[in-house]
Amino acid sequence: MRRLNSLAFTMCSLLAMCAGGFMSATAAQADTVSTGNAPPLRFVSYNICGNMCTDAKGYDNQRRIDTVVDEATVGTWGADQIFLQEVCRPQYDAIEQKLAPLGFHGLYTATLPGKGATAGKDAVCGGADYGMAVLARGPVTDTKVLDLTAGDEAEPIKSPCVKNYAQSRGNWACSVHLYWKNDATLREAEARTLAAQTAEWEKAGIPVVLGGDFNDQPRSAALSTFYDTGIGDGGQGSFLEADETDKDRFTTACAPSRSRCRSGDATFGQRKIDYLFLSARDFKGVKADVLPLDTKVSDHRLLRGAAYWADCGPLDPGAGRVFRRDAAGGLFRYAGRPDGGVTGACKVGTGWNMMRSVAHDGNTVLAVDKAGTLWRYPAELDTGTYSGGTRVQVSSGWQTMDTLLAPGDFSGDGRPDAIGRDTAGDLWLYRGSADGGFAAPVKIGNGWQIYTALLAPGDFSGDGRPDLIGRDVAGDLWLYKGDGSGGYAPRQKIGNGWQTYTALTAPGDLDGDGLPDLAGRDGAGDLWSFPGDGKGGYGPRKKIGNGYPAGELMF
């Protein structure tokens, strides 16, 4: 909602918000989301009102800046993308500067340049530019400012957009502010222009996120342009809206049995006019919550949204996958596809930079922390994520080990085992116990310090027993066939030239042919798969990805 001094009293009277202060709608109940229970993709939309909306005594510019910045911190919300409307350029500059150390990049566009913003009594930003902004965590590879102006608006209607890698996946993200005056025809025209552009991106296979003040209610004609056809209620677009699943806010037009509705918690007075739209083909599991009104910041309430990528969530234990830990400690999973490639990144954990060694066996991850404690992380059944809420301490004393492997049942007793290599090059077997822990280690080999990488690929040789693989300093690859009782046969060379790979992993069956495969990241950050042949060898390599940073842990 656009505020100018000359309109403030009229608007407050019409919306019953200004008798003794702004009226605050109650907070959402059934779908209240927090950093602990929200899906991993996080968004924020906030109309922060420039330097208007409150009386001179109530306005707190620093609080306004700090409120936005705080939404990006992991302990508060950990937003990946932030959409701002009615923001003064100095406010944006301060916010961007504070968010830069967190990896954010942004785009600002002025709808009222500084000269126009000071005209007459409608000064909005004290001589500075007034406009819109979008800020995104991670690399920005392209930018675009959409002109949505239909022709008769009092000022240009613009939408700044960035092409960004949100949690390692490319998408377009746009901040939106449709026309505020009581002219639905103009808003409908602006909405159609915006939808036409987003349709081009979606047709090209690029996910889209729209956040902003649409200045209309959920069942308006302008909003029909965005709600996807699957929601019913006249939806004509291709988007999910983050708060459409909040049953506490379903209107009488929505049957209680429905899971989605064109409704949501109020963001401005008693009305919902702020939205987070996510392309329905690319996202799922949307949730949202609206924070209590803070009159020292805005007369809008801050809207939080969260979602999963559509192909994320629980994974079949037998499916192949590659894990990557980024520099910030985020854990990402890339599931195998029938063509031998991998899906886009699914964020499945945070705080993993505290772990020094990590391995996986199906949906279970084993990790050794910096103190040498071994933890087991079963995947969350509903989300496929790994958190402190599911982990179980298994044992301690692993600080002497520089490598951790999860080979499955290496000893042949029907229980999953663990293998560790110590700094002297000795190999130790930890047999799984009935209580889910491990028995005391048994030394099963020495001289393994010659290997710069060790893998536990499963039954790579096709004899029904888990095997081990090592890469030596010359880049030769060696197979050790497991004997099914905790030992292994003499090594046999199965490849060379593997020194070009800065990380190796045993992903399981990536291509779905029932045979375990291998994968490696080269010095350029490209990811390659090597399909196992079920006989102890592998087929020609296939490039399945790029942009995997050197130095990051992969397993």
Q: Give the predicted TM-score (pTM) of the model.
A: 0.75
d(CA 213, CA 176): 6
Q: pLDDT tens across 443-477, in order? A: 999 999 999 999 999 999 999 999 999 999 999 99
| CATH pick for 41-309 out of 3.60.10.10, 2.40.37.10, 3.40.1710.10, 1.20.190.20 | 3.60.10.10
| CATH pick for 321-554 out of 3.30.428, 2.120.10, 2.40.420, 1.20.120 | 2.120.10
In the sheet that holds 517-522, the strands lie side by side as: 501-508, 517-522, 527-530, 542-545
Q: pLDDT tens across 487-512, in order? A: 999 999 999 999 999 999 999 999 99
Q: Give the tokens for residue 185.
A: 């025809």
Q: Which three-class secondary structure string do you get for 180-223?
A: CCCCHHHHHHHHHHHHHHHHHHHHCCCCEEEEEECCCCCCCHHH
> Residue 15 burial (CB < 10 Å; 0-12/13-18/19+)?
middle
Q: Give the tokens for residue 427.
A: 């190999």
Q: Kindly write down the DSSP assignment for every residue of 75-122, as one continuous string.
A: TTT--SEEEEEEEEHHHHHHHHHHHGGGTEEEEEEEEE-HHHHTSTT-
> Residue 62 burial (CB < 10 Å; 0-12/13-18/19+)?
exposed
Q: Give the tokens for residue 454.
A: 């060790």
The vertex-470 CA angle with 468 and 475, nearest 5°, equals: 155
d(CA 516, CA 551): 25
Residue 372: CB atoms within 10 Å: 15
Burial of 126-145, coded b for 16+ CB within 10 Å and e otherwise, reads eebbbbbbbbbbbebeebeb
Closest CA to 241 of 225, 228, 254: 228
d(CA 231, CA 124): 39
The vertex-280 CA angle with 277 and 286, nearest 5°, equals: 60
One pLDDT digit (tens) per residue for the chain, 555 residues: 654 433 333 333 333 332 222 333 333 334 567 777 788 899 999 999 876 654 455 778 899 999 999 999 978 999 999 999 999 999 999 999 999 999 999 999 999 888 654 443 346 687 889 999 999 998 899 999 999 999 999 999 999 999 998 887 899 999 999 999 888 999 999 999 999 999 999 999 999 999 999 999 999 999 999 999 999 889 999 999 999 998 888 888 888 888 899 999 999 999 999 999 999 999 999 999 999 999 899 999 999 999 999 988 888 888 999 999 999 899 999 999 878 889 889 999 989 999 999 999 999 999 999 999 999 999 988 788 998 888 999 999 999 999 999 999 999 999 999 999 999 999 999 999 999 899 999 999 999 999 999 999 999 999 999 999 999 999 999 999 999 999 999 999 999 999 999 999 999 999 999 999 999 999 999 999 999 999 999 999 999 999 999 889 999
Euclidean distance between the first and the last CA atom of the chain, given in angstroms as a whole number: 49
- Determine the angle formed by the axes of helices 61-70 and 89-99, rounding to 10 degrees: 40
Give the three-state DSSP class for 354: helix
d(CA 533, CA 5): 73
Burial of 30-40, coded b for 16+ CB within 10 Å and e otherwise, reads ebebeeeebbb
Give the three-state DSSP class for 8: helix
pLDDT confidence of residue 476: 98
Query: Domain boundaries in the chain?
Result: 41-309, 321-554
Q: How far are the Cα atoms of 133, 202, 225, 262 from residue 241, in angstroms, in the given order?
A: 20, 16, 12, 8
Q: How far are the Cα atoms of 2, 161, 208, 455 from residue 281, in angstroms, in the given order?
A: 32, 20, 10, 36
Closest CA to 208 of 229, 190, 194: 194
Backbone φ, ψ for residue 424 (5° rounding): -85, -5
